[in-house]
Structure 1
Amino acid sequence: MRRLASVEGGRPARERGSAPARTEHPRGDVEDQPARLWHITLSVAGRAVPLSDVRRALERLADDHPFLLTSRYAEDHAEIRYWEEARDLHDAAAVALRLWGEHRRTAKLPPWEIVGLEVIGRETYHQRISEGYGPPPAHPMGVHPF
């Protein structure tokens, strides 16, 4: 899988290389499938933590993983939005579900649980934006309070 630093105009600004993924299809065939872009929104929540601690933890996570586009936070919840490159929704969701737990210690993230996950394809993301519903584009990038 490749991870992206940012996406502009639907194209990766920086990527880490990998070959197309191979996947088995329900009918039993194996087919080469190129990786696709998925927009991830990961929501976490739990016991209230001082805002300054939440902000520092999310900034550390973003420093360690520059593919994070934006994070919004409050004392008891946060939302992380980013682009993931994966061969299918299952792979993108699996990576997203591991993000918080795998980096809890290194980024000193609050001991919150994942309470929401949305994974949508690039085309769906852009369609929602063009039709005026769905979240606004992730600008400005970075860590911001709700």
Structure 2
Amino acid sequence: MRRVRPGAGAAASRGGVGGASGAAARAVGEGRALTSVAAGDRFEGEPEDLPRLWHVTLSVSGEEAPLAEVRRALEQLAHDHPFLLTSRYANDHAEIRYWEEARDLHDAAAVALRLWGEHRQTAGLPPWEIVGLEVIDRQTYHQRISEGYGPAPASPVGVHPF
């Protein structure tokens, strides 16, 4: 049995065996209900091109650095970019958590993957590499919190040792 998109018309009958199919024999528009949308009406779903909030957790690590320098660098990064919720650090690794506004996960992840490298010099960050990245949408973040698993809410906000 060959499936045909409704209203495909003559294109649906091309290559058919023994005549036109039922859908192709129907007049264009027959059997289909058309609806109109008034100007200014909104689509019921979430438009794909509008920015959404994404919760980002970026993990970095590398050779040991003095704790005071790591803290100062993370505080400078938070000062330069107030979107940072919290940073936790040790002398050989750190974790940064923040909300990113982006069109989709790919955009949010791309920004997160550039964050450490682009600000390493201006904030004096250690030359560590990114070893982990989690990007989840707002709904998933809140679902995890309400179910009792997932990262604890970022409080207190700021830069703290592990």
- Which category of TM-score, normalised to the shorter sequence, fits these structures? 0.7 to 0.9
CA contact (8 A) 2:59 2:131 kept: yes
Q: How many Å separate the matches in 1 of 2:70 and 2:142?
A: 30
Q: How many Å separate the matches in 1 of 2:64 and 2:109?
A: 26
- CA 1:56–1:91: 2 relative to 1, 3 Å: same
Match in the other structure for 2:95: 79
Q: How many Å separate the matches in 2 of 1:122 and 1:135?
A: 13
5+ residue gaps, structure 2, are: 1-46
Task: Give the share of equivalent positions with the same residue, in percent.
Answer: 81
- Letter of the structure 2 residue corresponding to residue 79 of structure 1: E
1:70 partnered with 2:86: yes
Equivalent residue for 1:126, pick from 142, 151, 155: 142
- Letter of the structure 2 residue corresponding to residue 76 of structure 1: D
Following TM superposition, by how much is the alpha carbon of 1:136 offset from its aligned partner in structure 2, in angstroms? 0.4
CA contact (8 A) 2:53 2:138 kept: yes
- Scaled by the length of structure 1, the TM-score of the pair is 0.78
Following TM superposition, by how much is the alpha carbon of 1:120 offset from its aligned partner in structure 2, in angstroms? 0.1
Following TM superposition, by how much is the alpha carbon of 1:32 offset from its aligned partner in structure 2, in angstroms? 5.9
Higher share in strand? 1
- Spell out the pairing of 1:53-68 with structure 2 (5 A cutoff): 53-68=69-84
Structure 1 residue ranges, 4+ long, deviating more than 3 angstroms after superposition? none
- CA 1:93–1:136: 2 relative to 1, 3 Å: same
CA contact (8 A) 2:48 2:103 kept: no
Measured on the aligned residues, the alpha-carbon RMSD in Å equals: 0.9
1:81-137: per-residue Cα shift (whole Å, max 9, x none)?
A: 000000000000000000000000000000000000000000000000000000100
Match in the other structure for 1:116: 132
SS of the residue 1:106 aligns to: helix
CA contact (8 A) 2:56 2:135 kept: yes
Q: How many Å separate the matches in 2 of 1:143 and 1:70?
A: 6
Residue-pair matches, total? 116
1:51 partnered with 2:67: yes
Higher RCO by CA contacts (8 Å cutoff, separation 6 or greater) = 1
Higher share in helix? 2
- Scaled by the length of structure 2, the TM-score of the pair is 0.71
Q: Which has the larger radius of gyration?
A: 2
- Spell out the pairing of 1:1-146 with structure 2 (5 A cutoff): 33-146=49-162
- Letter of the structure 1 residue corresponding to residue 157 of structure 2: M
5+ residue gaps, structure 1, are: 1-30
